[in-house]
Amino acid sequence: MNVTRDEAAKALADIDKATDKVIELKGYHHGAPHFIVWGFVWLIANTTTQFYQQYAGTVWVGLLAVGMVASTVIGIMQGRSIKAGAASSAPAGMSTRMGMTSGVVFAFIFCLMLISQPETNRETNAMISIIFPFLYMCGGIWAGWRLFAIGFVTAAAILFGFFYVKEWFELWMAVFAGGSLIAGGIWLRSA
């Protein structure tokens, strides 16, 4: 059987497309549990803030710690499963870079809060929360359209709630922003 040069080029292009799709789907699969964890953090913390304002600070700090620990454990477990598998598409040092990226994002948020000094909890919540969906959209440009869509829907929900849902903003954030992350994580997992 003879293969022409054009047939070989097409076959290689098809393999490249299939490889890119596998990498995209693996990324969705690995990202899904993180979206679900952080969706529940937003859901519980914002609901508590809406109905039990006096516990808001404690609950947010506690749930942020739980979310960070959960994401770290999930990341470690995913890293181990990648190492246990055959060849990995993840470059060496990926988990270190992801950890460093998280550190940079949290430092950025800290600096943003120092500079802007929001006057209300609602402004603080919206300002911190809006950063992450835009990061998801940026990631989606590179990693896959589902990630972009989750970021877009979450950002739209945050902005709508901030401008149009005054008294029930935290509950709005719980249901529509936290809920969009949970639904997005489930959607990513199904990919």
Instruction: Convert the pLDDT of each residue in 45-92 to its tens digit.
Output: 999 999 999 999 999 999 999 998 898 888 888 777 666 554 555 555
- Mean pLDDT confidence for 120-133: 91
pLDDT value, residue 133 = 92
3-state secondary structure at position 85: coil
How many CB atoms sit inside 10 A of residue 165's CB? 16
* Contact by Cβ (8 Å): 125, 119: no
| Domain spans of the chain, in order of start | 5-190
- DSSP, residue by residue, 89-108: SSPTTHHHHHHHHHHHHHHH
Q: What is the pTM of this model?
A: 0.78
Q: How confident is the model at residue 40 (pLDDT cuts 50, 70, 90)?
A: very high
- Model confidence at 101: pLDDT above 80: no
pLDDT value, residue 42 = 94
The span from the CA of 107 to the CA of 182, in Å, is 25
